[in-house]
Amino acid sequence: MIHSLFLINASGDIFLEKHWKSVVSRSVCDYFFEAQERATEPENVPPVIPTPHHYLISVLRHHIYFVAVIQSEVPPLFVIEFLHRVVDTFQDYFGVCTEAAIKDNVVVVYELLEEMLDNGFPLATESNILKELIKPPTILRTMVNTITGSTNVGEQLPTGQLSVVPWRRTGVKYTNNEAYFDVVEEIDAIIDKSGSTITAEIQGVIDACVKLTGMPDLTLSFMNPRLLDDVSFHPCVRFKRWEAERILSFIPPDGNFRLLSYHVSSQNLVAIPVYVKHNITFREGSSQGRFDLTLGPKQTMGKAVESVLVSSQLPRGVLNANLNPSQGTYTFDPVTKLLTWDVGKINPQKLPSLKGTMSLQAGASKPDENPTINIQFKIQQMAISGLKVNRLDMYGEKYKPFKGIKYMTKAGKFQVRT
């Protein structure tokens, strides 16, 4: 399976290598660098690169390439999924997954990788088990360790690996027992030039932060479970119960985890919470272009649209933009031609607009493409699909937990074509 792993930073340095079988020379990465050179954008490096003796499967996260070396047939998604799991684990442990964080914690990283794979086959990938084996570094613990010489490695043995609920640590204790659930829905949409919706979908997740003592068993039920069209679960969810009763029943992992991700049945019309009026024109022969953009709320069910951020990749011919926002700030990067406008909150009485001119390269002909506008926004306290959690019950433990549910709607890949 996975032979070796190389971590490569944005400038092309291999800053960590780990081998699970015999050592593969780091020169194998030359093939990767070749491919990287060929690709114009960092994300265009093909995820699978064949070399004469090995295959390189890579993922790009946080500007770091995680390159796995494999020697024989293995499902590529298996490797990709595992690499992403590695990144998630790092993020979980160090808060961020950057080159600096990995270098700072190189020993912990090595210990983690050692536990996650045995002979190239995944062994322990559940974050709760890993945390039992190797404690995540904190500032306090690092200090104490340097002084006392105690270790990051857990004294206990990984009993979690033996249990039937491998995702949960045993012997969890909290003074405040809390369970929070965030229902976050993202709208993916492509809006036509004329403002009509070409495609719109709602993808949602329920992220949970559960800090409960002992072995609680939770059930979560929805007011309208039929809305959920296609769901994928954390392994803790009892699938049969869902199939039969549309109730989520599970023994939760300890801490943060993603309980569920779902797709809202595409037969339901998707409410589009914002609209864009745009007028972006370039005139033939003139070195000026007009830029005019107005945002407005639409179908928001009375909730405010917040954290609005508009970005657009302007055509290469645009030299500079001289714009005037009615609210918020805008930036234009003349090198990447990326225009971003941080709008903030949309006030329905006074719609935010961004107007002005763009200067074009003198003499160049007018760009034949119009830029796409990407919009990000957030709407608090609302799930756009109308999904509602009915109730959350806990069994198996005696205490009364504190329960909280938060709804939020965000823009996913929300694009407006102009």
Partner 1 sequence: MSASSAFNDEKGGSSSVGEPEYGHDPASGGIFSSDYKRHDDLKEMLDSNKDSLKLEAMKRIVAMIARGKNASDLFPAVVKNVACKNIEVKKLVYVYLVRYAEEQQDLALLSISTFQRGLKDPNQLIRASALRVLSSIRVTIIVPIMMLAIKEAASDMSPYVRKTAAHAIPKLYSLDPEQKDQLIEVIEKLLADKTTLVAGSVVMAFEEVCPERIDLIHKNYRKLCNLLIDVEEWGQVVIINMLTRYARTQFLNPNINESLLEEGGSGDKTFYGSDEDEDEDEEEKEKKAEAAAMAKRKPYVMDPDHRLLLRNTKPLLQSRNAAVVMAVAQLYFHLAPKAEVGVIAKALVRLLRSHSEVQYVVLQNVATMSIKRRGMFEPYLKSFYIRSTDPTQIKVLKLEVLTNLANETNISTILREFQTYIKSMDKDFVAATIQAIGRCATNISEVRDTCLNGLVQLLSNRDELVVAESVVVIKKLLQMQPEKHSDIIKHMAKLTDNIQVPMARASILWLIGEYCEHVPKIAPDVLRKMAKSFTNEEDIVKLQIINLAAKLYLTNSKQTKLLTQYVLNLAKYDQNYDIRDRARFIRQLIVPTEKSGALSKYAKKLFLALKPAPVLESPFKDRDHFQLGSLSHLLNAKAGGYQELPDWPEAAPDPSVRNVEVKESVFTLLERVTTLTSVPEWTKCSSREKRKEKKVEKPFYTDSEGESGPTESADSESDSASGSESSSGSEESGSGSESEESKEASESEEEEEEEEEEQKKKKKKDLKKPVQESESEQSSEEEERKHQRKSKPRKSESESESDEDEESESESSQSESEDSESEAEVKKKKKTAESKPPPKPLKKESKKEKKEMSLLDLDDFEPAPSPQVTPVNTFLSNSLVTDLEGLSLSDSVLSPATIAPSSALKSYELLHRITGEGLSVEYCFSRQPFSPDANMVAVQMQFTNSASSDTKNLHIEDVKLQSGMRVKEFPEIELLPAGETATAVMGIDFCDSTQAANFQLCTHTRKFFVSIQPPVGELMRPVFLTENEFKKEQGQLMGMNEITEKLTLDVKCRNEHAIVQRVTTAANLSRVPCGSDKECSPPVPPPDYPVHRFAGRTVTSGSLVLVTVATKEEGAAQLTVNCEKMVIGTMLVKDILQALTQ
In the range 190-209, which residues lie near partner 1 by CB under 8 A? 190, 192, 194-201, 203
Is residue 238 part of the contact set for partner 1 (CB under 8 A)? yes
Q: Is 307 in the site for partner 1 (CB under 8 A)?
A: no
Exposed/middle/buried for residue 5 (C-beta within 10 Å: 0-12, 13-18, 19+)? buried
Report phi then psi at 283, rounded to 5.
-105, 145
Among 37, 138, 239, 306, binds partner 1 (CB under 8 A): 239
387 part of the interface to partner 1, by CB under 8 A: no
- Report the alpha-carbon distance of residue 409 to residue 299 in Å, rounded: 13
**Residue 383 binding partner 1, by CB under 8 A:** no
- In single-letter form, the type of residue at position 318 comes to V
Alpha-carbon span 286 to 364, nearest angstrom? 9
Residue 137: both structure tokens together: 């570094």
What token pair was written down for 330? 């805008």
17 binds partner 1 (CB under 8 A): yes
Count of positions on this chain that bind partner 1 (CB under 8 A): 140
Q: How far is the CB of 395 from partner 1 (least distance, A)?
A: 5
Q: Which of 33, 174, 180, 275 binds partner 1 (CB under 8 A)?
A: 33
Tell me which H or E stretch contains 133: helix 127-133
Give me the amino acid identity at 392.
L
CB of 217 or CB of 326, closer to partner 1? 217
User: 67 Cβ partners below 8 Å, 6+ apart?
Assistant: 5, 6, 7, 8, 29, 32, 56, 57, 58
| Residues within window 162-181 making contact with partner 1, judged by CB under 8 A | 162-166
State yes or no: residue 261 binds partner 1 (CB under 8 A).
Answer: yes
The residue from 35, 47, 326, 389 that contacts partner 1 (CB under 8 A) is: 47
Q: Is 94 in the site for partner 1 (CB under 8 A)?
A: no
- Tell me if 50 contacts partner 1 by CB under 8 A: yes
> Number of C-alpha atoms within 13 angstroms, CB side, residue 372?
10
What is d(CA 304, CA 380) in angstroms, rounded to the nearest whole number?
Answer: 8
Work out the number of other CB atoms within 10 angstroms of the CB of residue 96.
Answer: 10
Cβ 147 to partner 1 shortest distance, Å? 9
> Within positions 110 to 129, which residues make up the interface with partner 1, using CB under 8 A?
110-111, 114, 118-119, 121-123, 125
- Contact string (CB under 8 A) for partner 1, positions 327-356, x = contact: ------------------------------
Q: By CB under 8 A, is residue 325 in contact with partner 1? A: no
Cα 95 from Cα 411, distance rounded (Å): 24
Q: Would you state the structure tokens that stand for residue 107, as one six-digit string?
A: 């020993």
Cβ proximity to partner 1, 209 vs 345, nearer residue: 209
Task: Establish if 284 lies at the interface with partner 1 (CB under 8 A).
Answer: no
Closer residue to partner 1 in complex, CB, 46/356: 46
State the nearest-atom distance from the C-beta of 290 to partner 1, in Å.
18
240 belongs to the binding site for partner 1 (CB under 8 A): yes
The pairing of strands 121-122 and 117-118 is antiparallel
Q: Which of 63, 144, 157, 286 binds partner 1 (CB under 8 A)?
A: 157
Minimum gap (Å) between residue 254 Cβ and partner 1: 15
> Please, what is the Cα angle at 106 between 128 and 210, to 5 degrees?
20
Would you count residue 29 as binding partner 1 (CB under 8 A)?
A: yes
Q: Which amino acid is at 235?
A: P
Q: Nearer to partner 1 by C-beta: 27 or 349?
A: 27
